[in-house]
Chain A
């Protein structure tokens, strides 16, 4: 269950640099989280983090004897916003490294940067772009989050390739590694997209008011019953 960069794959200077970027980024996100979180969203954010931890343990098979699992950055960003979502994923990555020896301790900065910063923010931008093109319905929000989540996985594999190009210790060229990484992660991206869209749909069906990425939906446009005029007026 280790998608995470182990110790020694990227040399120390690059890892340390990524550590500085990751610490700064998560610090900024924590400040924003304090500003943006309301009383109801504190436990929801905790749940988002716990759910992503659990879902990351469930590896699904993709072609050719390889597996993939959810990264969850876009799921978190759509549910609780990109700043809070980034912290949710960062907590998961830290718990995995320190408690479960998954992902190197020296590579923690790299793993936080890729999974907790690149994925939620890059993916959330894509989500916002897609959402703007689609009609304002729950289906659109779920579809946009799925597509953006898939895109974000490829983005994360690209981020790894850049890190490898800067400080990789292996003999293979960055181009070879990049092509292989993106090739595998395009397949994993499909799984990420499906899981993200389904999870967002489930939350939208029960607590649409909690979904950060669906705040633009009024009560009257979001359910088929309401569209037919059957919704209760409130």
Chain B
């Protein structure tokens, strides 16, 4: 007995990704530019960071801006969209691999039924 799904999984995932892309592409460029909590405390208390800046400051998307795109909003929005895509692919791929890896060597058949995760597997 599980709560019943209201929408299909594919539709849910598509909607979720759409929300993430809208946040990254359209909302993030208009978000607050004030220093965040840690940056503010670091500034107020005179905490240093490396004078050389970030080791990867030369990458094409460093600082959430796509090199060569001069419109600030577009640059941030594109960088965010790239980030959403890469994060989804990387996390999804990683989870698909660890799941397959776990299942391959002699796992008990009861665990193979992915559609019915039994309550005693919960832990955590």
Interface residues on A, range: 35 or more
Which of chain B's residues 9-60 have a Cβ closer than 8 Å to chain A? 9, 12-13, 15-17, 19-21, 23-24, 27-28, 31-42, 44-52, 54-57, 59
Question: Which B residues are in CB contact (< 8 Å) with A7?
Answer: 49-50, 52, 54-55
Asked if B92 is at the interface (CB within 8 A of a chain A CB), the reply is: yes
Asked if B109 is at the interface (CB within 8 A of a chain A CB), the reply is: no
A to B contact number (C-beta, < 8 Å): 282
Question: Which A residues are in CB contact (< 8 Å) with B88?
Answer: 46-47, 49-50
Asked if A88 is at the interface (CB within 8 A of a chain B CB), the reply is: yes
A37 to B124, alpha carbons, bound, how many Å? 13
Q: Number of residues in B with C-beta < 8 Å to the partner?
A: 81
A64 to B117, alpha carbons, bound, how many Å? 48
Are B47 and A87 in contact, with the CB atoms below 8 A? no
Which of A35, A99, A188 meets B59, CB within 8 Å? A99
Are B31 and A100 in contact, with the CB atoms below 8 A? no
A171 to B46, alpha carbons, bound, how many Å? 7
A34 to B2, alpha carbons, bound, how many Å? 22
Chain A minimum-CB-distance residue to B92: A46
Are B91 and A38 in contact, with the CB atoms below 8 A? no
Are B92 and A209 in contact, with the CB atoms below 8 A? no
Are A54 and B21 in contact, with the CB atoms below 8 A? yes
A206 to B16, alpha carbons, bound, how many Å? 11
Asked if A36 is at the interface (CB within 8 A of a chain B CB), the reply is: yes
Which of B31, B34, B95, B103 meets A58, CB within 8 Å? B31
Question: Which A residues are in CB contact (< 8 Å) with B115?
Answer: 38-40
A49 to B9, alpha carbons, bound, how many Å? 17
Chain B minimum-CB-distance residue to A231: B4
Chain A minimum-CB-distance residue to B96: A42
Asked if A185 is at the interface (CB within 8 A of a chain B CB), the reply is: yes
A interface residues, Cβ below 8 angstroms from B: 1-9, 30-55, 57-62, 65-69, 81-84, 87-88, 91-92, 95-102, 104-106, 124, 157, 160, 164, 168-172, 176-177, 180-181, 184-185, 188, 205-210, 214-215, 217-219, 222, 232, 234
- Apart from A47-B17, A206-B5, A232-B4: 18 A-B pairs, beta carbons within 8 A: A1-B36, A1-B64, A40-B114, A49-B90, A54-B80, A54-B84, A57-B28, A58-B23, A66-B40, A95-B86, A99-B86, A100-B59, A101-B55, A124-B124, A177-B41, A177-B45, A219-B3, A234-B4
Closest 8 pairs (CB-CB, A-B): A46-B92, A34-B102, A8-B50, A49-B91, A170-B47, A208-B3, A39-B114, A57-B28
B interface residues, Cβ below 8 angstroms from A: 1-7, 9, 12-13, 15-17, 19-21, 23-24, 27-28, 31-42, 44-52, 54-57, 59, 61-64, 76, 79-80, 82-96, 98-99, 101-103, 114-115, 117, 119, 121-124
